[in-house]
Chains A and B, each alone.
Chain A
Amino acid sequence: MSMPALEPASPGTTPARQRGLRRVVSAFRDAHGVSKAVVWVGAAITAAFILLAIFAPVIAPYDFDTYRTADGVRFEKQEAPSAQHPFGTNVMQTDVLSRVIFGSRTAIEVVALALVVSLAIGLPLGLLSGYHGGPLDRGLVLVMDALIAFPSLLFAIVIAFLLSDTFGRGVVTAALAISIVYIPQYFRVVRNHVISVREEPFVEAARAIGAPPRTVIRRYVFQNVVQNVPVIATLNAADAILTLAALGFLGYGIQPTQAAEWGYDIKRAISDAGAGIWWTGLYPGLAIVLLVTGLTLLGEGLNDVLNPVIRRRKTEPVRFPPRPGNEGTP
């Protein structure tokens, strides 16, 4: 058997604790075949980028805006990869490798902050809207649908532009601009799921024991809705990376003085490409592709193993033993 015997043989004898977010962990374990590979590859790539982000100052040879050595010697402009600069330098005279590494920090920071903000707003609104229904629900659905109908990149640009006066043009502005794009998605997913959970008898039972709406939502509805969130959050994170890069590329993203950002670097590398300077654009581009692929694989894989509709657990093929009487019996 290729399966480790982590799961108890019979759920009747040993309580199988697989509730809420704990299910995510067990899902990794139960995954098999293609979805197992997909989840693990996605998780590995994502984890690698998170490590890069956390330890960027240790790993990167220079800071993201360093343009000279400690002795004050300026870096060559657009220098080809060498021992000193493994990925070369770019038009801003900074080290491409360092900018790619610090860029992952920016990306992870922005996406994490955007996720937290959009979850913090979208999730409660979805819960309230779905549970209470009525005019509140109709109003919120109308607003959220209008937000979804708006082209998301254009929307993010407008928000970034509006917020830049207050928060400057750093990580916070970018994160807020992106989060507003994703709030409606969380709202919609959570609301629709709440509407189906709301009809479950255990929700009515909770009301029947005298639980106030707050308690019903928190203890009975939320716990059973939250399981979908990791999947959509991961998939949205992948999308958010692209939106962040697009903002940077168009010049509405993070200021180059604030942090390293892949989209901005690619924009600055456009003219290099014609001159045969391939390293300035290739590495930030590769970073985007890798991280987005990693997150998408992780999200799709999670969906495969978490979603009960398409979830398939590894099953042993049935092999019939010889009939008793035909040959030797046990």
Chain B
Amino acid sequence: MRPETEAPATTAPLLEVRNVKTHFALRGTFAGRVLGRDAGSVKAVDGVSFALQPGEVLGLVGESGSGKTTLARTILGLAEATEGSIRFGGEEVVGMSERDLRRHRRRAQMVFQDPHASLNPAMDLLTAIGHPLKIHGIAHDEGALRRAVGDALEHVGLTPVERYLHAFPSDLSGGQKQRAVIARAIITDPDLLIADEPVSMLDMSVRAKILELMIRLKEELNLTYLYVTHDLATARYFCDRIAIMYLGRIVEIGPTASIFADPKHPYTRSLLRAVPDPDPDRRVPRDLPRGEVPDAVEPPLGCSFHPRCPRAFEPCGWEARDLRDLIERRWAGLGEEAFERERRRIGALDRLDAPSTDATISAGRGSGGGDVRDLLDAIRDRDPDEPLWRGVERVETGSGGVDVTFRPHVDPALLDVGDRRVACHLYDPSLAPPSGEPAA
């Protein structure tokens, strides 16, 4: 196994995640369960590998549904890995007993997104922050507990301590609650702190203070951070390295500075361009990827990003569902009559709903394969640059419809590109990117 990107590789990694998958089985219908039909599973994390060196800050960056939070929960054992290995401080976490996991969580703690909901409303801060010590049997008498909680409160800036020891969460502001949550996380003296969107629910004017606090604590307490976020701006400021996630996989991982200076993966590029910036000279970019993050139950074939990717080409995983999207996109722009006319030419579109490289578009009543073919040609003529057509291998027109066969797909693997790794076919010389240049 080769090391993931450069990091100070002199010491053993604190955390090593290898090919981890976390799938959640869907419950399905009652009839389906009786008949033993599989309702499928949500592939929240689908094969992720990275290593985290002691003292490092790694950002897991992705949109909702990218699996970043599930990955964080899997590392703590709060969600069960379906496959793969997570080594923390030399110990394997996957398959650990619930008892050992609880011990593990003393050394790996978590800060949550919503400070308003992550403290028990019925506990005062002394009880809440001191609870980890009681659970792990670290503080035995009330005096020691009080001292330790006082220390933790001072560390996070909730001073004077006496004012906060007996305060309840409802007495605190959002920023103060998040400080209390951080105090609870550091009180067991952990090695790893997983921060899941710790500032995203706070007001702008407070975010800086919490980030500053986390940076200070890292120095004071020798912490290693896994910073989970959708916010590229804070990730850029806070992280040494960044892993960009999309639909359960890492698409690009490398040093923060180089990723922001020269993003390689088309998804990373789009994200960076989309971040709103308080710059009066900027307007909302109009050429960003269309659509949304697809369903993780049946992700797109090949590269998950290909249906939205502006640079997708032949091997990216073109399939029947993309063809349906293309037809529907055309209809969204047509007037009502034109739509009704074209709609009648085609039979049910449901046959295009499977993740398959063979797509059959049947003709509607009173029309034949030729009509369908004409429609496809019209769509193609209107936008010949649409990347989908590059994935088409063969189009056969029959009497009852048209069969479209797409090229076989290739799953993108993480490739070394300079000082980082990117999962994109554009950087695979063997797939010969069509335009010759892999992005500059």
Residues of A that sit less than 8 Å from B by CB = 11-12, 15-17, 19-20, 200-202, 204-212, 215, 219-220, 223-224
Name the residue of chain A whose CB is nearest to the CB of B101. A210
Contact of A208 with B110 at beta-carbon distance under 8 Å, contacts A16-B171, A201-B117 already known = yes
> Is the beta-carbon distance between B120 and A210 smaller than 8 angstroms?
no
> Is the beta-carbon distance between B171 and A209 smaller than 8 angstroms?
no
**How long is the Cα–Cα vector from A161 to B73 in the complex, in angstroms?**
53
> Is the beta-carbon distance between B135 and A209 smaller than 8 angstroms?
yes
B118 at the interface (CB under 8 A from A): yes
> Is the beta-carbon distance between A202 and B78 smaller than 8 angstroms?
no
Residues of A within 8 A of B73 (CB): 204
Contact of B78 among A20, A208, A212, A219 (CB under 8 A): A208
**How long is the Cα–Cα vector from A207 to B112 in the complex, in angstroms?**
12
Nearest chain B CB to A47's CB is how many angstroms away? Answer: 28
Contact of A202 with B102 at beta-carbon distance under 8 Å, contacts A19-B168, A219-B123 already known = no
Residues of B within 8 A of A224 (CB): 120-122
Residues of B within 8 A of A219 (CB): 120, 123, 131
**How long is the Cα–Cα vector from A212 to B105 in the complex, in angstroms?**
11
Contact of A19 with B105 at beta-carbon distance under 8 Å, contacts A208-B110, A219-B131 already known = no
176-215 of chain B: CB within 8 A of chain A:
181, 184-185, 188
What are 8 A-B residue pairs whose CB atoms fall within 8 Å in the complex?
A16-B171, A208-B76, A208-B105, A210-B132, A210-B135, A215-B135, A223-B120, A224-B122
> Is the beta-carbon distance between B170 and A202 smaller than 8 angstroms?
no
Residues of A within 8 A of B117 (CB): 200-202
Residues of B within 8 A of A204 (CB): 73, 78, 112, 118
Residues of B that sit less than 8 Å from A by CB = 73, 76, 78, 98, 102-103, 105-106, 109-110, 112-114, 117-123, 131-132, 135-136, 166-168, 170-171, 173, 181, 184-185, 188
Nearest chain B CB to A46's CB is how many angstroms away? Answer: 27
Residues of A within 8 A of B76 (CB): 208
Nearest chain B CB to A161's CB is how many angstroms away? Answer: 38
> Is the beta-carbon distance between B184 and A11 smaller than 8 angstroms?
no
**How long is the Cα–Cα vector from A194 to B114 in the complex, in angstroms?**
20
> Is the beta-carbon distance between B114 and A201 smaller than 8 angstroms?
yes
**How long is the Cα–Cα vector from A212 to B132 in the complex, in angstroms?**
11
> Is the beta-carbon distance between A210 and B118 smaller than 8 angstroms?
no
Which of A15, A201, A205, A212 has the largest number of chain B CB atoms within 10 A? A205
**How long is the Cα–Cα vector from A11 to B102 in the complex, in angstroms?**
36
Name the residue of chain B whose CB is nearest to the CB of A15. B171
Contact of A19 with B184 at beta-carbon distance under 8 Å, contacts A204-B78, A210-B102 already known = no
Residues of B within 8 A of A20 (CB): 122
Residues of B within 8 A of A16 (CB): 168, 170-171
Name the residue of chain A whose CB is nearest to the CB of B108. A208
**How long is the Cα–Cα vector from A211 to B188 in the complex, in angstroms?**
13
Contact of A19 with B122 at beta-carbon distance under 8 Å, contacts A208-B105, A215-B135 already known = yes
> Is the beta-carbon distance between B120 and A12 smaller than 8 angstroms?
no
**How long is the Cα–Cα vector from A16 to B121 in the complex, in angstroms?**
12
> Is the beta-carbon distance between B105 and A210 smaller than 8 angstroms?
yes
Contact of B181 among A15, A205, A215 (CB under 8 A): A205
> Is the beta-carbon distance between A212 and B120 smaller than 8 angstroms?
no
Residues of B within 8 A of A205 (CB): 110, 112, 118-119, 181, 184
